[in-house]
Amino acid sequence: MGTLQTTFFALPVVWHNALVTLMTFVYVFSVPPLMDFLVTNHSLPRDISRKITHICAGSAIVFLPLFVEGGWSHYLNITVFAVWTILLIQKGLFAADDDQAVKTMTRTGDKRELLKGTLYFVLVAMICGTLYYKQFPGVLAMAMLGWGDGLAPIIGTRYGKIKYHILSDKSVEGSLAFLAGSIFAGMFFVWLIVPELFDAGKIVTIAIIATIVEGVSPKEVDNLTIPVAVVTAACFL
């Protein structure tokens, strides 16, 4: 990492951040083909491929420490999400049923799903990458949305035995997976990106709040309610 950063810092800031942006594109755009391969050739269930993609997208903030502040160019960090916003709208309206994104990012194979939770996710990512760029609330929101909300349905649908229903069907096991994933990812990404703001107790408290919000949220809408709850809690606790 040190050698890589030294090479990058030898570049003008704009070119440095453009190069990091290119790395982010390579990472993000490599996930759907990999999931498509696993779904098509190794019978990976759609719901799991969808949530792995969700976790990987949230983990794109791992590149944030490489962005250098200066001028406008650090906002290039949201470029990949801006591109995906356009793609999701196009695919949600016009994609064929065998489209890669439809196969790997939807529960049922209905392309219109891309215009709901998945689209909300990338819009939230753009807000976190601009209004909350390298700030505790934004980092925590993306970490908990990516990992907490990614793990909850994987565990809940397969191992959830204690069910509950408020506005949608949930399970205690899924909620515990959300809590564990949120705490782990929250601590890791805060330590990685804004280590000076690391506060384990605060992260755990916010993870508990996010878990409650996820538990009472309807499907699809939780991609909005979770980050709103995390950002609000992070700003006022």
pLDDT one-digit tens code per residue, 141-182: 999 999 999 999 889 888 888 988 888 888 999 999 999 999
C-alpha span between 189 and 187 (Å, rounded): 6
Residues near 35 by beta carbon (within 8 Å), at least 6 away in sequence: 44, 49, 52, 53, 103, 104
Query: CA distances (Å), 146 to each of 5, 56, 110, 122, 129, in order?
Result: 26, 7, 22, 11, 14
Secondary structure in 3-state letters for 96-139: CCCCHHHHHHCCCCCHHHHHCHHHHHHHHHHHHHHCCCCCHHHH
Lowest mean pLDDT among 43-47, 96-100, 134-138: 96-100
**What are the pLDDT digits (tens) for 199-214?**
999 999 999 999 999 9
Residue type present at position 5: Q
C-alpha span between 47 and 93 (Å, rounded): 21
Burial class (CB in 10 A: 0-12, 13-18, 19+), 37: middle
Task: Name the pTM for this structure.
Answer: 0.88
Query: CA distances (Å), 218 to each of 106, 136, 166, 226, in order?
Result: 16, 26, 8, 11
